[in-house]
Structure 1
Amino acid sequence: MITRRHGLGFALAALTLPLQARAAEGGIRGLAGAGDALGEGPYWSPALKRLLWVNISGQTIYALDLKSGDIQTWKTPKPVCFLADRKSGGLIAGLSDGVYAFDPKAGTFTLLVRPETRDDTRLNDGKVDAKGRLWTGTMDTKWKEKVGAFYRVDADLKVTRADSPYLCANGPTFSPDGRTLWHAETYDKTVFAFDVAADGALSNKRVFVKFDGDMGSPDGMTTDAQGGVWIAHYGGGRVSRFKTDGTLDFSIALPATQITSLVFGGAALDHLYISSAAQFLPENAPDKAVAGTLFEVSPARLRGHAGLPATPFAG
């Protein structure tokens, strides 16, 4: 574990002049991570009272104290994709080959379960629902075939394949009543909605929204307390809130183009934290200086919306 002091936030207008227009409305600041190849998985931990996120390819976990600005970092033995609190203590971490128990005090990782054992896929995104079940998907590491799938991991660590196939599974997120789940196939630029039964069975798969034009591809998602679905636009330079019927409510433009995921955080869950990636950008890309940054959006930009509290993994 490494602990360091970090100057919390930086003025977007001071980064590069071509980005000023994107941040003209204010209320957005960068916190850390500029240059990270694949910033992902922001997560507000009620247990730690820290904002966590990862750099997948950099094999790094970050934990930010929003009050002091202190950042703790841990190196992981394999690429790390997502994090969540665990009911029995500590955290879970989705590494490339499985779900691990992560002890932040000791900095240790203990394998809990491998949803699949293919050598051409890795875990990607993952979230815990209000019943403490983990939902996670896999992706083709070569970005060629739909060999991945979407899984549910119950409290007894039983793994159920909930849907397939996927080339790049992303999301998921859940309605406040737990009866609807949204999940993305990033490769097809499509977000699906499912009905969720009490036992976790999925049914009635349907298209929720299809990205086109300059929207980029749908990546990570979260849900607000009013039921709106927020989606990160990878390659689209923004996050958007969609109503439950799939219509666009509004978008927030960001200084980076490759937006990967988002979460509501802070004590009141009224700030939005957004991760981004620097991978594959050419040296002359206008957002090169800020790509990979973790951004914070203030309540003034969120039109009164706040998030739902996270539930720890029950396993």
Structure 2
Amino acid sequence: MRAEQITDPVAYHAEGPVWSARWGGLRWVDMLAGDVLSLAADGTISRRHVGEIAAALRPRSRGGAVIGVERGFALEDADGSLTPLPEVWDDHGVRMNDGGCDPHGRFYCGSMAYDETAGAGALYRLDPDGSVRAVLDGVTVSNGLEWSPDGDRAYYNDTATGRIAVFDYDEKDGLTGRRTLAEVPADEGVPDGLTVDARGGIWVAVNRGGQVRRYTPAGAVDEVVELPVRQVTACTFGGERLDELFITTSRERLAPDEEPPAGSLFRARAGVPGLPAREFAG
């Protein structure tokens, strides 16, 4: 399967695509620019600056969005107003990176050191009441996080490990029983963002490898989407029937004349529907 380019290179480091009917379509981030991008039905793109870093976002059940920003979280209301929450830490060498919502409306976002110091990051959970707690420590590059269709498992990438992890999940105990679902060989790239389809398949962006791979819940690869750029960062399902796979890419560390399509948004016809975006209940 090959992905088609559907925008110009509109971002330096695009990440975190999410489709929501509340927004009227797709949003994603130009992470290091601190911007949230939106794709309109006519193909035009708007951009909103939300902070030094725009790490990840999800829709809110009351309208608007929850956003992971440099050292914590911000809430966008339905009218577009933005309220930063208190910073979670004060170390300016660490920033948020990627996240997602669990089946109970809680928003998770994970951190990493700017210089990718091993173990300097953590995975944080923002509850609907505004409280924040660390749920996983010793992370290096916290990345893709999404739940199975039945909500009993969660898939997660700490990119530096090269492994796609799976956790057991319930509301009371949260993420438990971490184990390896699959490993990406170092010479093939590293696992970055991910999403899950309605049949339980796990679609993983293989950064430095120019692919998105679909893994079965048993950890076998059964589909590959090829892209013309190496730095494939994240993916999500969208479109009217949630059967279009939107894929973000990055220009980070590339020379101006290197891989001209990098930083563009791509799309593939996945042949399977995705799941509606889980919403933050706060």
Where do 5+ consecutive residues of structure 2 fail to align? Answer: none
1:12-34 C-alpha deviation (Å, 9 max, x unpaired): xxxxxxxxxxxxx65x3222251
Match of 2:277 in 1: 310
Of 203, 227, 245, which aligns to 2:218?
245
Corresponding residue for residue 11 of structure 1: none
Could you report, residue by residue, the CA deviation over 1:130-189 in whole angstroms, capped at 9, with x for unpaired residues? 221112111111112311111222211222322121111001011011110111111121
Inter-CA distance 104–95: structure 2 relative to 1 (3 Å threshold): farther
Residue among 245, 257, 260 paired with 2:233: 260
Q: SS at 1:281's partner residue? A: coil
- The residue that corresponds to 2:266 in the other structure is 295
Q: Relative to structure 1, is the Cα distance of residues 30 and 90 closer, same or farther in structure 2, using a 3 angstrom cutoff?
A: same
- C-alpha distance in 2 between matches for 1:33 and 1:80: 20
Q: Give the 3-state SS of the residue equivalent to 1:57 in structure 2.
A: helix
The corresponding residue for 1:65 is 40
Counterpart CA distance in 2 for 1:96 and 1:89 is 22
* Identity, % of aligned positions: 32
Corresponding residue to 2:50 among 76, 92, 97: 76
Deviations 1:192-220 (A, max 9, x none): 11101232522111111111144211000
Compute the displacement of 1:113 (Å).
4.8
Query: 74-83 or 95-104, which moves further after superposition?
Result: 95-104
User: Which moves more between the two structures, 268-277 or 191-200?
Assistant: 191-200
Find the counterpart in structure 1 of residue 133 from structure 2: 160
Tell which deviates more after alignment, 225-234 or 190-199. Answer: 190-199
The alpha-carbon deviation at position 103 of structure 1 amounts to: 4.2
Measure the CA separation in 2 of the matches of 1:31 and 1:203: 39
CA distance in 2, matches of 1:77, 1:193: 31
Q: CA deviation at 1:36?
A: 2.3
Q: Tell me the alpha carbon deviations over residues 5-60 of structure 1, each in whole angstroms, 9 at most, x when there is no partner.
A: xxxxxxxxxxxxxxxxxxxx65x322225162211111102212221011011222
Q: In structure 2, give the amino acid aligned to 1:82.
A: A
Write the letter of the residue equivalent to 1:311: R
Instruction: Give the aligned partner of residue 100 of structure 1.
Output: 74
TM-score by length of 1: 0.84
List per-residue Cα deviations over 1:265-310 (Å, max 9, x = no partner). 012101000000001124563xx21011110112xxx2x3110011
Cα distance change of structure 1 residues 132 and 113 upon mapping to structure 2, 3 Å threshold: farther
**Partners of 2:86 and 2:183 in 1: CA distance:** 33
* CA radius of gyration, larger in: 1
RMSD over aligned CA atoms reads 1.8
Residue type at the aligned position of 1:198: E
Give a deviation string over 1:62-104, Cα, whole Å, max 9, x none.
Answer: 11123x2232211223210111111222111111111101247
**Aligned amino acid, residue 195 of structure 1:** D
Aligned partner (choices 48, 73, 80) of residue 23 of structure 2: 48
Q: 1:85 is matched with which residue?
A: 59
User: Is the counterpart of residue 196 in structure 1 residue 163 in structure 2?
Assistant: no
What does residue range 104-253 of structure 1 map to in structure 2 within 5 Å?
Answer: 105-106=79-80, 108-253=81-226
Q: Is the 8 A contact 2:63 2:78 kept in 1?
A: no
Report if aligned partners of 1:169, 1:186 keep a CA contact under 8 Å in 2.
Answer: yes
Counterpart residue type for residue 20 of structure 2: S
In 1: Cα distance, 2:101 partner to 2:175 partner: 15
Secondary structure (helix, strand or coil) at the match of 1:36 reads coil
Runs of 5+ consecutive residues of structure 1 not aligned to the other structure: 1-24
Q: In the alignment, is the contact (CA less than 8 A) between 2:94 and 2:113 conserved in 1?
A: yes
Q: Report the number of matched residues.
A: 282
Q: Secondary structure at the match of 1:32?
A: coil
